[in-house]
Amino acid sequence: MHREIAGLAVGVAVGNAYGVAFHSTVLGRLDVDNGDIEAMRSGAEPRDEIQAAVYAFARALVIDRGAMTEAIAQRAADAGLQPSDLLQLVAECAFATLVGLVDNLLGGVELDEFLRPQAWK
């Protein structure tokens, strides 16, 4: 679930409508609260402490281009995220950023049928 939250955070940060729809759909299938999904889609954190720390970490990683503040890193540690968890999030953020950049360069890939209910923007 953490990777999906990170993917959603990146999608919102880089303006990738396909990524936002995809990760929103997967999070919904993982029974994440719809209110929390909507909050993340609007750039706000979910209510769950661990999920919020994941979202904040991923968002800061992308927006600040890796210049992570000590407060964000400490928040992730306080939420129980281990270095291996953070490395997985970094990998997801790198992948989601690359996909988002390509999608934006192409002018936005058309959403697949199963993603259309979660269209963004």
DSSP assignment of 36-61: HHHHHHTTPPPSSHHHHHHHHHHHHH
pLDDT of residue 80: 93
| Count of helices and strands (H, E) across the chain | 6, 0
Percent residues over pLDDT 90 in the chain? 69
Domains and CATH numbers, the chain: 2-112 (1.20.1290.10)
**pLDDT band at residue 85 under the 50/70/90 scheme:** very high
Question: Is residue 1's pLDDT more than 80?
Answer: yes
Structure confidence by residue, pLDDT tens digits, 27-79: 999 999 999 999 999 999 999 999 999 999 999 999 988 788 888 888 999 99
Predicted TM-score of the model (pTM): 0.89
CB 35 within 8 A of CB 119: no
CB 39 within 8 A of CB 46: yes
Q: Please state the separation of Cα 60 from the chain's center in Å.
A: 11
